[in-house]
Chain A
Amino acid sequence: MIIRKPKSLTFGKVFNHLALLALVLLWITPTIGLLISSFRDKEQLAYTGWWTALSTSEQNAWGRTGTAEDQVKKDGKFLISGTILTSNEKTILTYNTNFKNLSAYKSGESMIFKDGSLFTLESDGKYEWISQKPFTHKRGKRIFYVAEVPPMFSLDNYREVLASENVGQSFVNTFTVTIPATIIPIMIAAFAAYAFAWMEFPGRQFLFVCVVGLLVVPLQMSLIPLLTMYNKIGAFFGTEGKSYLGIWLAHTGFGLPLAIYLLRNYMGSLPRDIIESARIDGASHFQIFTKLVLPLSVPALASFCIFQFLWVWNDLLVALVFLGKQDDQIVLTSKLRELLGSRGDNWEILTSSAFISIIVPLFVFFALQRYFVRGLVTGSVKA
């Protein structure tokens, strides 16, 4: 018997831990970046990386002073005072009247303008501008500054996309598409799967081989003929070719081969004795199916439901072809793609919308992972 050397064993273990840790970090970092960013203040998000979200950041910005209208007379001098900050979260470090040399004056220090007036900016953004002669300017002077900004987190980005970008409506639209498109195919597939598994009829083998073949037929082959057909039907009834009914049926059609395949394999693996003894007792196939096979097939039905739900929720292509882009039809994926085009630089909008679109599938996924994995494995593992 060989005794393993403990030293090399330890090294291997440590390597295992580190390698897996590296892979896991690599895999989750992009998603975490998105999640953190979606809660950050939109200005900070635009200038600093999400990994600095917890540290205080420096920001270059500018504000305007008041105009001549704001001046008051005090001790024979003219004074304009106020604040150049719009929010009180910032701490001003240095400032200047042009942006080329921002570190010219520290906050609290005074600078003297060409006309002899004295300007002082405090670190909290309050300024005092004192002059011997009355002020006459109509536009406020621009003051450029470097400020320290503490980390800011809020739900503002989410409020914005839900209110003004219509992402909330898209969320409802996606639900409208997904629920019928998940439930209808499962019923139709269950009956067909039972027929393939337990009933005798001519052409059974051939038809099921066809289903196996259809499993891999690319969706792209169906799009043009179906779109033409939908448009014709729409024109015939004088309505739009793009409708929820159309996409429900399309998703049903595209999901059926996998549903029939998975369910037939599962039902076929149920013990023959149960079904045959029920036959001998005089039960019809309809009774056996509804009272015996269907309840026994719940795990397989559940895994297909999760598949189809995730697939329909995450689908973009079918939605682009069979649904319109107006507010009451556009789904989340489609909306997100549109925002990528039109608001490509507004990361506060993109990150929060993306997170809204993935929260439901993530929840379903983590809650029902066991069924999902079981479905995947029975569909794929072959001896």
Chain B
Amino acid sequence: MVTQLLSAFLAVVLGVGACTLYYVGSNFLLDLAFTDSGENAVRNSRQRGAIRPWLFLAPALLILSIYLVYPVFETLRLSFYNFGGFEFVGLNNYIWATKNPEFLLAIGNNFMWLLVVPSLSVAFGLAVAVLADKLWWGTLAKSLIFMPMAISFVGASVIWKFVYDYRGPDTDQIGSLNAFVMMFGFEPQAWITLPFWNNFFLMVILVWIQTGFAMVIFSAALRGIPEATLEAARIDGAGEIQIFFKIMVPQIMGTIMVVWTTITIIVLKIFDIVLAMTNGQWNTEVLANLMFDWMFRGGGDSGRGSIVALMIMLAVIPIMIWNIRNFRKEEEAR
């Protein structure tokens, strides 16, 4: 254990050392190669200016290419190859996907997740942000609702699996949900295996985590609305509910869209919760879990795994384009 921590510490020292050595060394060499003295001073200075940005960028670009850019194209290529990735099979994997019930189920479930989780997180986040800003203990309340953001998806799964715990109807329940349900005279349920609805019990976990994120962002955005605007509306006789829907929401619409898309991307990649709670059993399969499954099932089928990954990528592309267009607009406004 001690040696392991030492090796981690050593990795930090070596990693940081190597980076420092590279950046300091390469810049020093550049200054040395193109000096300011001598007859070519002006030309040297220009060449230095042309090269230096690339010295700054090189490590980042190299790592991004290896870990993100190359894999995208490689995954695309693999989707046309068989399970081991060495025999071209054309569109076979694609045809398999359109007929595979598991794949179609995963798409259907992901679609439900996409409808439910972002909308509920945004709704709860807005509600808490608006309520908390008016109360003296609002900061504490926000802190507590924000807390699940720090908890891992697996940790959250354990927490909620305990909430959903099921014992037979004749014994004491130890799961709070069943105890709550029995308090009102209903039968306890095995929530996680309950057909169709079990998906929603898994979604609750992600809503529980993401509401805090939405709340923090909305809270900051709401503070950006000029007090004069709100005061003017109040003088005109608008009620708090009218102010919320007719002034606050339209004013922060851009922020709502950003939060919505951010949570959408998280939902598309949702994996840990499903793996930990059901591993896709009882019809709760989602794309990311199916992809992980195919990566290792039967020694790993890179063709089918790639198809599932591409499906997730395909869903992300519209958001990517929207993001880039937004970014361009902002840059022009600068």
* Chain A interface residues toward B at CB < 8 A: 1-2, 12, 16-17, 19-20, 23-24, 27-31, 33-34, 37, 45-51, 169, 172-173, 175-176, 179-180, 183-184, 187-189, 191-192, 194-195, 199-201, 204-205, 207, 209, 211-228, 244-245, 248-250, 252-254, 256-257, 260, 284-286, 289, 310, 313-317, 320-321, 328, 333, 336-337, 340, 347, 350-351, 353-354, 357-358, 361-362, 364-366, 369, 373, 376-377, 380-383
Contacts and interface: CB of A to CB of B under 8 A. Distances in A.
Closest 9 interchain pairs by CB? A253-B67, A314-B152, A365-B150, A192-B60, A225-B74, A201-B53, A222-B71, A195-B56, A354-B158
A313 B150 CA distance: 10
B249 interface: no
A381 B220 CA distance: 8
Interface core residue of A20, A46, A250 (most chain B CB under 10 Å): A20
Nearest to B302: A224
17 contacts: A23-B128, A33-B162, A49-B172, A49-B176, A51-B179, A184-B16, A187-B19, A192-B59, A212-B323, A225-B75, A244-B7, A284-B31, A316-B272, A337-B272, A354-B158, A358-B155, A362-B147
Given A245-B11, A250-B67, 8 more contacts: A19-B127, A33-B162, A180-B8, A192-B59, A216-B320, A252-B63, A337-B275, A347-B165
Given A214-B69, A317-B292, A377-B220, A256 B78 contact: no
Interface stretch (B91-99, B114-122, B136-144): B136-144
A191 B5 contact: no
A31 B327 contact: no
B169 interface: no
Contacts of A336: 154-155, 158, 276
A358 B153 CA distance: 10
A214 B68 contact: yes
Interface residues of B, number: 122
A14 B53 CA distance: 59
Given A188-B59, A381-B221, A376 B174 contact: no
A24 B150 contact: no
B250 interface: no
Contact of A244 (B8, B146, B254): B8
Nearest to A329: B4
Contacts of A353: 158
Contacts of B328: 209
Chain A contact residues: helix, strand, loop or mixed: helix
Contact of A16 (B131, B172, B288): B131
Interface stretch (B101-109, B195-203, B311-319): B311-319
Contacts of A248: 11, 15
Contact of B306 (A20, A175, A224): A224
A306 B134 CA distance: 29
Chain B contact residues: helix, strand, loop or mixed: helix
Given A31-B159, A49-B172, A380-B259, A220 B312 contact: yes
Contacts of B157: 340
A169 B5 CA distance: 11
Contacts of A29: 176
A380 B122 CA distance: 14
A369 B143 contact: yes
A211 B197 CA distance: 39
B255 A49 contact: no
A198 to B, nearest CB: 10
A194 B312 CA distance: 32
A361 B151 contact: yes
A191 B8 contact: no
Contact of B323 (A179, A215, A314): A215
Nearest to B176: A33
B53 A218 contact: no
B313 A217 contact: yes
Contact of B150 (A23, A252, A256, A358): A358
B270 to A, nearest CB: 11
B64 A256 contact: yes
Contacts of A217: 68, 72, 313, 316, 320
B85 to A, nearest CB: 7
Contacts of A245: 11
B176 A51 contact: yes
B248 interface: no
Contact of A30 (B128, B174, B208): B208
Nearest to B20: A187
